[in-house]
């Protein structure tokens, strides 16, 4: 979002007029989620309504339109959309080859109970997310594979979706290559290595609490192993398709572009599946002349990504228009003269970053917008740069992974559609967020740290050493 030009949009009604579009969006999405909106397509009309209200309230209609289109057309938006299309296509491919059934068969042969299965899923997702630094990438890689496999084993589906996004959140919180880790550390002029090291005191307790909650939830609420239809009987040879996520993870670890990794993963997957007889050539592309249409697993994969793609385009347009109003900077600086103690300063830091991320639904926007206020408030009360960076990083790993209108939650809900081929119900964004026990635990640990002073150091920035963090 820092790529945007400095457009300025003023609204009739001042602050109220500025707040109406994002509040309509947030309240509308929450209402639909509580009513059981099946997927993100139901949120499209709410976003269109918010944009219409923004246009009506904007004093300069042309500038408003330019800000919306500029937000929609950012390179990062196109990268996300392309990644989702490719990842959805890979998910369809993995389903066609029987990998999910083979994975289910393997877990059943190992006699993993429901609780042990979700714990294993958590650590798999943590490994991927810490390695790649990408919660999006982890959900895209693990969601379409582990969700159907766990569903066939009878694991409680909301818990299963929650543990996948919980493991993905872990990486966004501590991975040195995570965009939120980098932004939170560098915005406070803190080195990334020491920031990650000091963050462990908050993240590890949250992870331990979450693991217990996942195990209890899965152990007490899961059902029986679902009977696979005869035509879907597991073929252990399909386990060879594990090469696909391994190739993608390897390339991401080598600092290759996400698009690079997904394309290579798709190529390797198609070649492997054809060579092993797991995929028929006509499943790559065939023509149905009777109905005048083309059939392909690639078409099916792209169709699965349509909902999240248009949601992202519309959301980034709305966020851009809000940012152009200057509201975010005013929110961050409102409390500058209201701080009298370190605890108050940290409370205002949590509140300002949290409020901005709630309004914008964008973690990096929140960090970058609030960074100067956070630095000034922290220095005023002698809160060192690592603590400040951690507070910002922890906040943006809670709300965006819990509330139903944030992209990670929408994306995880979208990934559960992979279970449709096995008659496994999809999970709504609301249920996904409610069962992300890691983010809930992280929120409690963060509040505990601010209230009690746990992890707080009064050592000024210039005197901080690696032993102090």
Question: pLDDT, tens digit, for every residue of 245-256?
Answer: 888 878 876 878
pLDDT digits (tens, 9 = 90+) for 347-392: 888 988 888 788 767 777 678 767 777 887 888 888 889 999 999 9
Residue 275 inside a domain? The answer is yes
Closest CA to 367 of 333, 332, 403: 332
What pLDDT digit, counting tens, does each position of 203-220 carry?
999 999 999 999 999 989
pLDDT band at 159 (very low <50, low <70, confident <90, very high): very high
Residue 233 token pair: 């009987």
Whether 109 contacts 56, CB under 8 Å: no
* Beta bridge partner(s), residue 58: 11
Give tens-digit pLDDT for 381-439.
888 899 999 999 999 999 899 998 888 998 899 899 888 888 898 999 999 999 999 99
Query: 288 burial class (0-12, 13-18, 19+ CB within 10 angstroms)?
Result: exposed
In-domain check, residue 161: yes
- Show the tokens assigned to 286: 């065939």
In a domain, 20, yes or no: yes
The continuous run of DSSP H or E covering 377 comes out as: helix 363-380
Asked if residue 7 belongs to a domain, the reply is: no
Q: Identify the bridge partners of residue 286 per DSSP, sorted by sequence position.
A: 295
Q: How far apart are CA 202 and CA 264, in angstroms?
A: 36
Show Cβ contacts of residue 311 under 8 Å, excluding neighbours closer than 6 positions: 40, 41, 43, 44, 47, 407, 410
CA-based nearest residue to 375, from 386, 365, 385, 364: 385
SS3 10: coil
The helices-and-strands tally (H runs, E runs) of the chain is: 20, 2
Burial 1-27 (b: 16+ CB within 10 A, else e): beeeeebebbbeeeeebbbbbbebbbe
CA angle 4, 5, 9 (to 5 degrees): 100
Q: Which of 126, 155, 7, 1 is nearest to 76 (CA)?
A: 1
pLDDT at 156: 93
Report the domain count for the chain. Answer: 1
Cα(311)–Cα(42) distance, integer angstroms: 9
Task: Please check the confidence at residue 333 and state whether its pLDDT lies above 70.
Answer: no
What integer pLDDT is reported at residue 69 of this predicted model? 93
Domain that holds residue 180: 14-463
Chain-centroid distance of CA 343 in Å reads 29
**Higher local confidence (pLDDT), 417 or 103:** 417
Mean pLDDT of the chain: 83
Task: Report yes or no on 5 lying in a domain.
Answer: no
What are the backbone angles phi and psi of residue 116, rounded to the nearest 5°? -65, -35
Could you tell me the pTM of the whole model? Answer: 0.73
Whether residue 51 lies inside any domain: the answer is yes
Looking at residue 184, the DSSP 8-state letter turns out to be: H
φ, ψ (nearest 5 deg) of residue 362? -145, 115
pLDDT recorded at residue 37? 62
Helix (H) / strand (E) element for 300: namely helix 297-324
Residue 469 lies in a domain: no
Nearest to 416 by CA among 31, 34, 120, 38: 38
Q: Are 47 and 314 in contact (CB under 8 A)?
A: yes
Q: Report the run of H or E that residue 239 belongs to, with start and end.
A: none
Copy the structure tokens of residue 192.
């990334």
Residue 30 clears pLDDT 80, i.e. is over it: no
Is-contact 414 304, C-beta < 8 A? yes
For residue 74, give Cα distances in angstroms to 25, 71, 77, 82, 180: 21, 6, 5, 13, 18
* Unique residue bearing structure tokens 């709410």: 46
Contact 194, 149 (CB under 8 A): no
Residue 8 domain-assigned (yes or no): no
């Amino acid at each position: 979002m820092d790529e945007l030009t400095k457009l300025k949009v003023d609204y009739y009604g001042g602050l109220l007029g500025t707040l109406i579009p994002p509040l309509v969006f947030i309240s509308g999405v929450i209402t639909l989620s509580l009513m059981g909106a099946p997927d993100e397509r139901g949120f499209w009309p709410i976003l269109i309504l918010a944009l219409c209200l923004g246009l009506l309230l904007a004093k300069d209609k042309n500038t408003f339109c330019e800000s919306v289109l500029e937000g929609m057309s950012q390179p990062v938006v196109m990268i996300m959309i392309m990644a989702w299309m490719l990842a959805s296509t890979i998910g369809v491919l993995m389903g066609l080859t029987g990998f999910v059934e083979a994975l289910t068969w393997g877990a059943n042969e190992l006699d993993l109970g429901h609780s042990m299965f979700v714990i294993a899923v958590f650590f798999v997702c943590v490994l991927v997310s810490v390695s790649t630094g990408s919660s999006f990438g982890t959900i895209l890689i693990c969601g379409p594979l582990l969700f159907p496999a766990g569903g066939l084993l009878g694991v409680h589906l909301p818990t299963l979706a929650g543990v996948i996004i919980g493991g993905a959140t872990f990486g966004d919180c501590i991975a040195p290559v995570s965009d939120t880790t980098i932004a939170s550390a560098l915005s406070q002029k803190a080195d990334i290595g020491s920031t990650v090291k000091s963050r462990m005191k908050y993240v590890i307790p949250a992870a331990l609490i979450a693991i217990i909650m996942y195990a209890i939830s899965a152990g007490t609420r899961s059902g029986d192993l679902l009977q696979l239809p005869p035509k879907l009987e597991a073929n252990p040879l399909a386990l060879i398709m594990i090469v696909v996520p391994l190739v993608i993870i390897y390339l991401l670890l080598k600092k290759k572009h996400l698009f690079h990794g997904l394309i290579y993963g798709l190529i390797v997957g198609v070649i492997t599946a054809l060579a092993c007889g797991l995929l028929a050539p006509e499943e790559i592309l065939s023509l149905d002349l009777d109905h005048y249409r083309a059939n392909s697993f690639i078409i099916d994969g792209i169709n699965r990504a349509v909902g999240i793609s248009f949601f992202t385009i519309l959301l980034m347009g709305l966020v851009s228009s809000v940012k152009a109003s200057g509201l975010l900077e005013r929110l961050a600086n409102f409390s500058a003269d209201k701080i009298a103690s370190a605890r108050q300063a940290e409370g205002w830091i949590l509140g300002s970053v949290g409020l901005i991320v709630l309004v914008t639904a964008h973690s990096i926007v929140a960090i970058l917008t609030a960074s100067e206020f956070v630095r000034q408030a922290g220095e005023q009360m002698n809160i060192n740069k690592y603590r400040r960076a951690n507070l910002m990083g922890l906040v943006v790993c809670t709300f965006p992974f819990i509330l139903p209108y944030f992209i990670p939650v929408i994306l995880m809900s979208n990934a559960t559609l992979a279970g449709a081929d096995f008659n496994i119900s999809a999970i709504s964004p609301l249920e996904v967020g409610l069962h992300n026990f890691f983010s809930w635990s992280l929120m409690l640990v963060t509040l505990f740290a601010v209230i009690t002073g746990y992890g707080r150091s009064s050592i000024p920035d210039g005197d901080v050493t690696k032993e102090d963090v």
